[in-house]
Amino acid sequence: MSSEKKPAWQALQSHFEEIKDEHMRDMFEQDTNRFGHFSLTLNDILFDYSKNRISPKTMDLLLDLARECDVQSWRDRMFDGEAINHTEHRAVLHSALRNRSGKQMFADGENVMPEIRHELERITRLANDIRNRTWRGATNQPITDVVNLGIGGSHLGPMMATEALHPYAIHDLKIHYVNNIDENHINNTLETLNPDTTLFIVASKSFTTQDTMMNAETARSWLLHKIGDSKLLELHMIAVTSNARAAVEFGINEDNIFKMWDWVGGRYSMWSAIGLPIVISIGPENFELLLQGAFEADQHFRNAPLDENIPVIMALLGIWYNNFFNAESIAILPYDQNMHRFPAYLQQADMESNGKAVDRDGKHVNYSTGPILFGEIGIASQHAFYQLLHQGTKLVPADMLAPISNFACIANHHRALMSNVFAQTEALMKGKNQDEVIAELKAEGKDDKEIEFLLPYKLFPGNKPTNTFLFYTLDPKTLGSLIALYEHKIFVQGIIWNLNSFDQWGVELGKKMATDILDELNEGAQVSSHDSSTNGLINYYLKLRTLNPKA
């Protein structure tokens, strides 16, 4: 049965009519322990969801929806290694990569744990060799710079995590990330590097992605130009892929190819050898803690009752706004500078997973699915787009994330930071009403005429929902837990929308067309086979590129 025909969905629709105009201000006044009723913890992570437009009845109905959509049995089917990615006939087992239980996990009837452990040992060895300077380049110098060449899931996870865990990074080793086919990216990076002391990781599950392969070719030429002998390339180039044959053909030594599996989606792969830059940066022990944190979130997701299950609640709140309030977007707002790539990471995780309009039965859905996810560091955003959150016409539910303490922790900085977290969630919830604005303007000495004029501009409607995550500090374990909570949230929403969250056919069309157009650009003749806009753009490009003989 399609999701919106489920009894709980219908009941939520009627309930929405009852509650849609209620203000959270009043809800907080009516229930003085609203925070106690609507907050949960996982280790030291506090998840406060009390500033949402919900009542106990809303939560009961949302939980009914989760039950009616069989969230629990789908969850078990995922952990049991069933091929729930049905369009690609694949299991979805990123949780196996961080399985610390000592128990077996199966894909296609095969226990995947021995291979996972084996690869983890291999990346641990490699990372240690680089970190303790045993790994030497062609001229016997230690590695000072590691460049990850990858895109999408082979880029965002490692980059987000190495940035987030910057305080745990080894100091005399720099990790660089190149994802863009635009030559500026690799050129700007190589400009600062010495081939003798640089190691490239070609990270591509498929080993066919145009952007990554082109950057890998440029990196290989740059290395060969300096080190000459192609046999020595193995000291400067390694690969992470599930397509070992292509990596060998490219010239990578078999011993330096680290494995990925079909049952790990790119956007869920930072726990595999794709996380190699993280291991090199923060060390194997810290990487194990990252895995441990994710494992503990997996355990929570598997075992906590639905009404105490953080990712389930996160997902249901998202459904509430997306499908009943018709909110189109969600904002991810970390109040931790080191989490500055966290929104970008979640953007791929969420939008590539649930940005779909065809359900598991091949039918076009008639309800809204994955939201537009955007975000930035909270403090910077306050001075940029919070205006729209507070006074715009759109409802943008937001997640705020903040550490109670951090590595450097200078009290005046950190207390000021935290005061902004608390103030923004309160301001978004409460708003400012007419009486408050008038009293404030009077106190400023404004006359009645000026007050009447300014009043509409100074009102804040409030009633803007936020979730707040507070955690003691952003250490590897906490980061692992946070990421896994979001992964499971995305999973639960996919189940409720009856989607396969683990394929990404929507990325194919543009890729294929770009390949065909590249042939035309290489040929250089004026084109007429496209629509008039595309013909016009290509022909304009072809005309003007003659200005630069290199273009």
Q: Which residues have a catalytic role annotated?
A: 352, 383, 511
507 binds ligand F6P (CB under 6 A): yes
Q: Which of 206, 218, 292, 368 binds ligand F6P (CB under 6 A)?
A: 206
180 binds ligand F6P (CB under 6 A): no
Residue listed under structure tokens 């005046």: 412
CA 311 to chain centre: 15
**Residue 169: CB minimum distance to ligand F6P, A:** 24
| Pick 404 or 507: Cβ nearer ligand F6P | 507
Percent of the chain as helix, strand, coil, to the nearest 5: 55, 10, 30
Q: 400 in helix, strand or coil?
A: strand
Q: Which of 137, 152, 334, 494 binds ligand F6P (CB under 6 A)?
A: 152
Structure token pair of residue 487 = 């992964």
| Pick 148 or 406: Cβ nearer ligand F6P | 148
- Report the number of secondary-structure helices (H) and strands (E) in the chain: 22, 13
| Pick 212 or 286: Cβ nearer ligand F6P | 212
| Pick 209 or 468: Cβ nearer ligand F6P | 209
Q: 526 in helix, strand or coil?
A: coil
Give the count of alpha carbons within 13 A of 374, CB side only: 8
Task: Answer for the pair 117, 288: CB distance below 8 angstroms, yes or no.
Answer: no
Span 223-242, contacts to ligand F6P by CB under 6 A: none
* Per-residue binder mask for ligand F6P (CB under 6 A), 260-299, x = binder: ------xx--------------------------------
β-pair partners for 199: 146
Q: How many residues bind ligand F6P (CB under 6 A)?
A: 14
**Choices 72-80, 87-95, 201-209, 401-409 (CB under 6 A): range interacting with ligand F6P:** 201-209
Span 467-506, contacts to ligand F6P by CB under 6 A: 504
| Pick 209 or 425: Cβ nearer ligand F6P | 209
**Residue 150: CB minimum distance to ligand F6P, A:** 6
Q: 199 in helix, strand or coil?
A: strand
**Choices 15-23, 150-158, 377-385, 541-549 (CB under 6 A): range interacting with ligand F6P:** 150-158
Span 336-395, contacts to ligand F6P by CB under 6 A: 352
**Residue 88: CB minimum distance to ligand F6P, A:** 11
* Cα(234)–Cα(136) distance, integer angstroms: 11
| Pick 204 or 323: Cβ nearer ligand F6P | 204
* Cα(320)–Cα(487) distance, integer angstroms: 18
154 binds ligand F6P (CB under 6 A): yes
CA 424 to chain centre: 23
Q: 363 in helix, strand or coil?
A: coil
Q: Which of 204, 369, 493, 500 binds ligand F6P (CB under 6 A)?
A: 204
**Residue 440: CB minimum distance to ligand F6P, A:** 50
Residue 20 buriedness (CB in 10 A; 0-12 / 13-18 / 19+): exposed
**Residue 311: CB minimum distance to ligand F6P, A:** 21
Q: 461 in helix, strand or coil?
A: coil
**Residue 153: CB minimum distance to ligand F6P, A:** 3
| Pick 449 or 512: Cβ nearer ligand F6P | 512
Q: 108 in helix, strand or coil?
A: coil
Q: Which of 66, 151, 165, 428 binds ligand F6P (CB under 6 A)?
A: 151
Residues 350/353/357/360 CA torsion (nearest 10 deg): -140
**Residue 152: CB minimum distance to ligand F6P, A:** 3
Q: Which of 58, 212, 215, 501 binds ligand F6P (CB under 6 A)?
A: 212
**Residue 156: CB minimum distance to ligand F6P, A:** 8
**Choices 33-41, 106-114, 147-155, 391-399 (CB under 6 A): range interacting with ligand F6P:** 147-155
Question: Which among 294, 204, 300, 280 is positioned nearest to 243, based on CA atoms?
Answer: 204
Task: Answer for the pair 327, 76: CB distance below 8 angstroms, yes or no.
Answer: no
Structure token pair of residue 203 = 């990270």
| Pick 53 or 205: Cβ nearer ligand F6P | 205
157 binds ligand F6P (CB under 6 A): no
**Residue 205: CB minimum distance to ligand F6P, A:** 4
Task: Answer for the pair 306, 376: CB distance below 8 angstroms, yes or no.
Answer: no
Contacts of residue 410, defined as CB under 8 A and 6 or more positions apart, other chains included, come to none
* Cα(15)–Cα(223) distance, integer angstroms: 64
Q: 48 in helix, strand or coil?
A: strand
**Choices 96-104, 202-210, 380-388, 488-496 (CB under 6 A): range interacting with ligand F6P:** 202-210
209 binds ligand F6P (CB under 6 A): yes
Span 513-542, contacts to ligand F6P by CB under 6 A: none
Task: Answer for the pair 93, 105: CB distance below 8 angstroms, yes or no.
Answer: yes
Q: 327 in helix, strand or coil?
A: coil
Q: 514 in helix, strand or coil?
A: helix
**Choices 191-199, 204-212, 221-229, 393-401 (CB under 6 A): range interacting with ligand F6P:** 204-212
Return left, alpha or beta for 431; rule: phi > 0 is left, psi -120 to 50 is alpha, else beta. left
| Pick 154 or 478: Cβ nearer ligand F6P | 154
| Pick 9 or 345: Cβ nearer ligand F6P | 345
* Cα(506)–Cα(312) distance, integer angstroms: 26
Residues that bind ligand F6P (CB under 6 A): 151-154, 204-206, 209, 212, 266-267, 352, 504, 507
